[in-house]
Structure 1
């Protein structure tokens, strides 16, 4: 009797277990199949990505697959109780989710390489009609019969395009021609004209002129003309590519646009740094060129209205694409740049935030209470942890330093080194996902995707300790005529000895030596020689640290009522103007926003 009771109890428990376990069994089975499929697909994607060395990839995959199989076997065949089955089902669910996330990021990384190395073939150009902030004009229709100032030699193509677009909207205007940008602004603010036509890229030049620092607040955009031009084919692939960047030393130009948002829009090259890498000896030489460096521009093939072989600030070359900056630097230093990388303000902010911030060391005497660029908290002597916005402000700061632009380029080198060290640190395991997301759209390069992957594979396989070296080109601050700006501007005329030393240091690293084997020029500027530009006889030059006489010139009145446009001139991808309120894109100066949109 007792035996029967025991058997009945066992049967009831067994029935109870059978009633509760089928759902868990089914769920466990589904998750097992899903996890196996996802881990197999992850392995396939990693092999296809070809970013990790096989000596590292194979052991990792072996361990992952082995652990997955053990969990699946234990979950499906060893768990006899519902509690243990439930626990292992949760473990399988977490494992499946992790493999799914891993596949997502690997897929995104694969697309990223194609995105950053597949440059668009069009460049966005924006030409605006500006009026005084208090003007009643608000749209294209308000411009009918108005008088607009222009500078004929300043972006003639863009000016013509803007007037053509106005004509298409049945808006006829009169034009008044000025000789320089300064004269144009004088005419606007003294109400000689109702408004002015100007390429948006020149806003930054205006903000640097003391009398018009508040240009963004004192004016408003009444009309915007957008058109596209072909990007130079020289940027799509490097003509100076090396066979393998893991064995052959090479030089990259990192060019930073002074803008936020899309990289497709033309903008000045505010940051220009040559990074020469010797992979065999694990050396990285960072050579900074100040944005105001006064050099002859080298125009790439197909660049419209580019004043080839005339003297300009290096930053202005960016208005004709990174290839113009590249070729200008090659000409100035007599070197070869193998690849280019193009970034902007948004790139740095997003990347620094994605890696959890960077740590920079500030020497005594270089403390900053508040950054001028965006009004954020400054830095103290010693180590400082910076988020994206503070890192950008630190890289842009110059007003707080006696050395001005010279210290700014040193800060840029510090930021780059700190970012590289953070990317190759173990903490990147935690931040890998956000970093991959931030990389999308953060930069453009003409370095092939397979070369980038091979260099990452080299880093994982060798884990080299990189030795960073740096050099900055210096010169004399002066006021000289810049043909692109069509006016006089503050520039830095380079010292000949610094240009020669920069070339020698780059050549040293390329030949397997340390750049420190090349002595830096004397610190006594009285013993240095300025780069001789006397051959440019037809371009005004003062070589003095003072503003030359720029007496205001009366504008040339255009008596024609309608601007005559050559109908044969064709523009691709015409974007008609939409009469909508002009949105502040963040590139306009606003002193009421704690300098958060400041220019300098």
Structure 2
């Protein structure tokens, strides 16, 4: 029996030492203190059987808790410095062609839009060449010509970068009902080389993208665009929200490529990052994408949240009153998405999204949420994509554990005037846009520079 107790004590000490040594969560001084206290307790209880069991259990619980926190973080944080574009090959629904092999065998014509990035077109040509298709691709202007060309038989196969799919559906909402996919390929690219920052010693910039992924085939649109300057020294976060319909120059295209901000996402998160950098005049260090359905899942795990709305509205069969509203997972999603219900559209939606976030945070801080921890983790598992490493995130956590100061927030929402202007992604078709207020934009640029500690000359 003595040998068994000795083995258990040794195992508990080794496991605790290993866990403390490898933990990224706790500051060094706290880890040393925990280890020293528990080892001291074990020494004091060395000849006392009951106390020995208690201390060994304490060591095992401490080790398990620290390992669980690390495990939880890995489940929630999806570190990914790459972007993946899915490119699909569409034929009409009643076509006898069911695969890329039969399409090539029957010498069908493949068509691509002139709006597609040259690198994407080259990638498509290379993949088709691997399948021994050596014919030239047919080019068409914009989006509408591609849809009509496929449906009227001008060509046989329409090649669509699925980032464009939401744009295609704006032209023809029945497109997916009239067509089918015979082949899909994925193009993986590294996101532009963003400059890393010392996250606990200097201000850094995070681009937060809220992605609407309700459509099939990854037809994602970045509907929430926020820039956060995080100052770990002053404990201040400066948040700047830009309307999804803001009329901007696309950072990944020529200077004449003007469009609404949400369409930058058509060309990938990389293009959205470049566009935000050019618009606001700051260098982005990190990005984070969060899917809209994460809101549904998280609120579902929490049960309900309390949200204050400064304007009542009706949408999706739900009636929301001015003042406090109790939202479940479905009504919370409607509040976060709704914009056509308001006179000032996206501006009001930005306010409501901030209130939903506050409601979620307040609910998470309630003691009762501890009993739902596993369902909460499952609800957000793998849904947050970022290029910030786990080590950097844990460094911020350690900093907050040492320094208990609260954080202050500076919030800015860019505004502008409604207008109908040509859209690059839609082949020049005029769409609803927001022409940003130049004075407000200039003031915001100065504010961001000050938040970063950059002196204006």
Question: TM-score over 0.5 for the alignment?
Answer: yes
Instruction: Return the structure number with greater strand share.
Output: 2
Match of 1:408 in 2: 349
* C-alpha displacement of 1:104: 3.8
Q: Structure 1 residues 71 and 481 mapped into 2: Cα distance closer, same or farther (>3 Å)?
A: farther
Task: Answer yes or no: is 1:206 the counterpart of 2:206.
Answer: no
Task: Answer yes or no: is 1:105 the counterpart of 2:68.
Answer: yes
How far apart, in 1, do the equivalents of 2:250 and 2:271 lie? 7
1:170-319 matches, within 5 Å, as 176-209=138-171, 212-224=172-184, 226-235=185-194, 237-238=195-196, 241=197, 243=198, 245-246=199-200, 248-259=202-213, 268-299=221-252, 306-307=253-254, 310-319=257-266
How far apart, in 1, do the equivalents of 2:262 and 2:450 lie? 27
For residues 488-509 of structure 1, what are the alpha-carbon distances to aligned partners after superposition, in whole Å with 9 as ceiling and x for unaligned? Answer: 2433221212212322443454
How far apart, in 1, do the equivalents of 2:147 and 2:408 lie? 49
Please report the TM-score for the alignment, with normalisation by the length of structure 1: 0.62
Match of 2:11 in 1: 37
* C-alpha displacement of 1:479: 3.0
Task: Answer yes or no: is 1:339 the counterpart of 2:286.
Answer: yes
* C-alpha displacement of 1:397: 2.2
Match of 2:274 in 1: 327
Match of 2:340 in 1: 399
Alignment partner of 1:487: what SS?
A: coil
* C-alpha displacement of 1:405: 1.9
Q: Structure 1 residues 357 and 151 mapped into 2: Cα distance closer, same or farther (>3 Å)?
A: same
Match of 2:400 in 1: 459
1:124 to 67, 80, 84: 84
Q: Structure 1 residues 124 and 451 mapped into 2: Cα distance closer, same or farther (>3 Å)?
A: closer
Match of 1:503 in 2: 445
Does the CA contact (< 8 Å) of 1:251 and 1:336 recur in 2?
A: yes
For residues 205-236 of structure 1, what are the alpha-carbon distances to aligned partners after superposition, in whole Å with 9 as ceiling and x for unaligned? Answer: 12334xx2233333221222x1434314514x
Alignment partner of 1:402: what SS?
A: coil
Q: Structure 1 residues 185 and 323 mapped into 2: Cα distance closer, same or farther (>3 Å)?
A: closer
Instruction: Give unmatched runs, 5+ long, in structure 2.
Output: none
Alignment partner of 1:274: what SS?
A: strand
How far apart, in 2, do the equivalents of 1:365 and 1:268 lie? 26
* C-alpha displacement of 1:255: 2.1
For residues 141-185 of structure 1, what are the alpha-carbon distances to aligned partners after superposition, in whole Å with 9 as ceiling and x for unaligned? Answer: 453244444323434443454455445445687865432202222
Instruction: Give unmatched runs, 5+ long, in structure 1.
Output: 1-24, 79-87, 300-305, 372-376, 513-600
2:25 to 44, 51, 65: 51
Task: Answer yes or no: is 1:370 the counterpart of 2:313.
Answer: no
Report the number of matched residues: 449
Alignment partner of 1:234: what SS?
A: coil
* C-alpha displacement of 1:288: 0.8
How far apart, in 2, do the equivalents of 1:421 and 1:73 lie? 47
Alignment partner of 2:406: what SS?
A: coil
1:350-389 matches, within 5 Å, as 356=302, 359-368=305-314, 370=316, 379-384=320-325, 386=327
Please report the TM-score for the alignment, with normalisation by the length of structure 2: 0.78
